[in-house]
Structure 1
Amino acid sequence: MADESERLKNEGNEWFKLSKFHKAIESYSSALEHARTPVILCNRALAYLKVELPGAAIADADEALSIEPGFVKAYYRKATGHIELGKQKEALKDLKKVVQMVPNDPDAKAKHDACEKEVKRIRFFEAILSPDAPTPSQTIVLDNLKVDASYDGPRIDGTQLTQEYVTGLMQRFKEEKLIARRDIICILLEVLKIFKSLPNFVSVSVPDDEEITVCGDTHGQFYDLLNLFKINGQCSPKNRYLFNGDFVDRGSYSLENVTTLFALKVLYPDSIFLSRGNHEGLSMNRVYGFEGEVKKKYDDGVFDLFSEVFNALPTGHIINGKVFVTHGGLTSKDDVLIEDLQKPNRFGEIPESGLICESLWADPQPMKGRSPSKRGVGLSFGPDVTEAFLARNNLKLVVRSHEVKDNGYVVEHDGKCITIFSAPNYCDSIGNKGAFIRFRGADMEPKFTTFEHVQHPGKKAMYYSSAFGGMM
């Protein structure tokens, strides 16, 4: 039994080296059926972290510690899982244990100190927040913002965006140049007005003889976004798009990516639709790079304004009364109607529970019913949950994103639940394809297109992330 466990563990290690993390998890899981050792549990925990299942990683680390309380690697895994969930205070507790166990390890001390510094920064930020303080948008007078005379890029005349300006913006970003600070603030203020006018779930109408393209996560992969537009055509009143969240983080061109989408929304408010993802929030932005990127490219004030805009993004969309689109998936209650999803106040940070949280964090599962999420947030929902929700709300299909897929998309739950993911070669390492769906208004039947990644210059994924001494 021990020999078979060792063989399967080594098999998992080989899959891991090839970045085939789901295969690695399968091998480690099989190994654990023969022998539950702290080493195999921590190996599987690391693979879970690679596929963004920190809840499962923390559970494996806890089991490893129940077997061997002094197993240092398990505390590292727990700390990384808590960081992935934006729970830096919990991670610091784990890293304190590590430092106690290996006080002379400089790497452990560096990770602990980096995490401690971040916790202090967050505490300071929380301490100075006041519920009565004006929002960033309320403190800005656009007319007081001037553009430096040396700036040679496109300029917004007043607050009116034109097709010429947006084309120039995309070209400038492609050349790794920034637009004027005044103009990015203008775009954020204008798109904020639009989002504030919308309900949690927005109804989208597509004429019978026209189409809409639904895209999943793009995660700061701006050059792949440009390629997507090259393949499928630029956004226009006759070429509608819906981007289903996670515009930022991980990819190191997140500012360019999300600003392009926001500029298009201002230019064509009825032709491009944007849903919030679980990464359009402060806790994720602190860890996965967007905060660091914006502050490096602009400043704190621009980042704070982005956060305010993220807090106003719609939770999802319903296309032609038939296709339900949200970033994560369905909820923990059986009797939820669309009107119930319209009730929560979405204007704030993503809550840790409730309908909005579940909509942005949930995942489908093959078995019936519901299960706790391996992410550590939200839940997993089965085909019976999907079928009941669709029947109750007179819908035909759920489209969600939130998970990388080898081919860019997966159809599950008897064809009634589609996952779409539009960031090919995710994090510059996974090797997956991207995909998008086209729906014609007349029948709303999905037609899939997959595409490969393109090369991009400069910074690799996670370049701007708060890496806590390399843990991420």
Structure 2
Amino acid sequence: MNGELEISIGKLEEAEKCKESANILFKKMMYNEAIELYSKAIDLNPNIAVYYGNRSLAYLKTECFGYALNDATKAVELDKNYIKGYYRRAAAYMSLGKFKQALRDFEAVTKARPNDKDAKSKYLECNKIIKKIAFEKAISVTDKSISDIIDFESICIEDEYKGPSLLNEKDVSLNFMKELMETFKNLGKLHRKYAYKILLDAKELFKKQPSLVDITIPTNERFTVCGDIHGQYYDLYNIFQLNGLPSPENPYLFNGDFVDRGSFSVECIFTLLGFKLLYPNHFFMSRGNHESETMNQMYGFQDEVKTKYSSEMADLFTEVYNWLPLAHCINNKILVMHGGLFSRDGVLLEEIRNIDRNRQPPEEGLMCELLWSDPQLSPGRAPSKRGIGIQFGPDVTKEFLRTNNLDYIIRSHEVKHLGYEMAHDDKCITVFSAPNYCDTMGNKGAYINLDGKTLTPSFKTYEAVPHPDIKPMAYAHNLLSMLS
């Protein structure tokens, strides 16, 4: 008995040491390493709410919202009075756009602590979001889109405007794009009339494309695939410095998550849409999970557009994003999508091509999984660490490639230390192009060069470049920062 008691006490002490060490790593923003130690503490002593609560916060930092939700729920089950557990779970719900569930947790805290001003503030802020969404839904124009009601012709160009101009309001030119990029680099702004024109023209262009777009790379040409940019305009500018501006001889595919988190999302998206209009057959854009209204409400893009332009323009962006293609197939051999593969075998490329995408991303099905899924090391499928989509193993990738006669897939969606990762016997490639993500992660950025003859990926990595002193998440909803 005494021996067993000593072992038990030893485990308790070791668990506490693991937690304390994990806390130190967390403060250093070494979140994955902290998660490992919190997990070890839980293995040693699975009955402490704080261990789950702390790991939940680390999962939130790494965008594993599903895991964060599970841990917070476990923490509350272990200790009904553990207030941080309710906050962590509310943060996970908020991150997934589940505002009503988050409100229930804030309400539980206010009932437990009726005199807690902080709890009351969070409850009121969340309730405000829910009422705002309901109000906007109630007054929304159901029979007309924003693009139908914009009085484009009445917008005047003021004499004092010195930025780039679309001559005679005609199509985008290379000179316009060069001037636009330099204007953005110097914290200038595109006139709202030209901004509206780019959005309206881009929407019409995307509407003509299928949900799966075929791309052909000639044998003697190079093609570049970029991953998430997330509003890091100065790193996007650097990509074009390193790899050359887009052109018919230097085509690009940007694989989703152009906006949110980074505070120069407006500059990123207008640059990318401008090049799409300039080179419609040599510049491609896939939808990411952050090209959605819910994500934009929480992670900054919507308020950035409202600050720099208007609410009306923010709504028009939503319409444009609804028409973005969901995937691209290169030379009939490489499928490129933002997230990953599917919850069932047997999915054919033709099914992807025919997806009705003109909508907000659903919470299940092919469209959802294309935007949200992630690879895992173990075979089979598992619930997503994000709380939406799935995780898929190497056997799932192999079967999908065999079914569709493909060589490999390219996806993005996840921060990688080197900016890229090859998994599933090199048949599942992740590329992430936002270095030092959110100014905290310390990762490199990367892009992929392909040649049309071999389709062998060549990875180019780079460090983050300096940017003006406007922090990431500057436009994000203040409730997210309140919960962190």
Asked if the contact 2:226/2:448 (under 8 Å) is kept, the reply is yes
- Give runs of aligned pairs for residues 21-32 of structure 1, distance below 5 A: 21-32=31-42
- Work out which of the residue numbers 373, 380, 384 in structure 1 matches 2:391: 380
Spell out, residue by residue over 1:427-467, the C-alpha distance to the aligned partner (whole angstroms, 9 max, x if none).
11111110011000001000001100011003100000112
User: Which amino acid counterpart does residue 383 of structure 1 have in structure 2?
Assistant: P
Counterpart of 1:412?
423
| Counterpart contact for 2:88–2:483, Cα < 8 Å | no
Work out the CA distance in 1 between the residues paired with 2:202 and 2:172.
11
Partner of 1:327: 338
Residue 30 of structure 2 corresponds to: 20
Q: Within 2, Cα distance between the matches of 1:89 and 1:286?
A: 15
Q: Helix, strand or coil: the match of 1:470?
A: helix
Aligned to 1:465: 476
2:69 to 41, 44, 58: 58
Identity %: 46
Aligned to 2:6: none
1:101-112 matches, cutoff 5 A: 101-112=112-123
Residues 406, 431 of structure 1: 8 Å contact kept: yes
Matched residue type, 2:179: G
Matches within 5 A, 1:322-471: 322-468=333-479, 470-471=482-483
SS in 2 for 1:178: coil
Give the direction of change, closer, same or farther, for the CA distance of 1:145–1:231 in structure 2 (3 Å limit): same
Decide whether the 8 Å contact of 1:407 with 1:433 is kept in 2. Answer: yes
User: Using the alignment, how far apart are the partners of 1:309 and 1:159 within structure 2?
Assistant: 20
Give, in whole Å, the separation in 1 of the partners of 2:391 and 2:311: 36
Deviation at 1:105, TM superposition (A): 2.0
1:239 aligns with 2:250: yes
Q: 2: distance between equivalents of 1:159 and 1:333? A: 46
Structure 1 residue 100: Cα displacement: 1.3
Q: Partners of 2:21 and 2:213 in 1: how far apart?
A: 47
Equivalent residue in structure 1 for 2:155, among 133, 139, 145:
145
Matched pairs, number: 471
Q: Give the superposition deviation at 1:343.
A: 2.3
Tell me, yes or no, if the aligned pair for 1:151 and 1:180 is still in contact at 8 Å: yes
- Deviation for aligned residue 1:301: 1.0
- Tell me the distance in 1 between the aligned counterparts of 2:478 and 2:281: 39
| 1:271 and 2:274 are equivalent in the alignment | no
1:252 aligns with 2:263: yes
Match of 1:155 among 165, 168, 185: 165
AA matched with 1:287: M
In 2, Cα distance between equivalents of 1:452 and 1:54? 27
Q: State the partner residue of 1:4.
A: 14
TM value normalised by structure 1: 0.98
Deviations 1:99-138 (A, max 9, x none): 111222222222222111111111111222354x201111
Native 8 Å contact 1:159 1:186 kept in 2: no
What is the one-letter code of the residue matched to 2:14?
E
Give, in angstroms, the shift of residue 142 of structure 1: 2.6
Tell me if the contact between 1:323 and 1:398 (Cα under 8 Å) persists in the aligned partners: yes
TM-score, length of structure 2 as denominator length: 0.96
Structure 1: runs of 5 or more not aligned = none
- Tell me how far 1:140 sits from its aligned partner: 2.3
CA deviations on 1:23-48 (whole Å, 9 max, x unpaired) are 11111111100112100000100000
AA aligned opposite 1:144? S
> AA paired with 1:3?
E
2:176 corresponds in structure 1 to 165
Which whole-Å CA distance do the structure 2 matches of 1:307 and 1:430 have between them?
29
Does residue 208 of structure 1 match 2:219? yes
- Amino acid corresponding to residue 252 of structure 1 in structure 2: S
Q: Give the superposed CA RMSD.
A: 1.0
Counterpart CA distance in 2 for 1:159 and 1:379 is 44
**Residue of structure 2 equivalent to 1:187:** 198
- Higher mean displacement: 442-451 or 82-91: 82-91
**Higher CA-based Rg:** 2
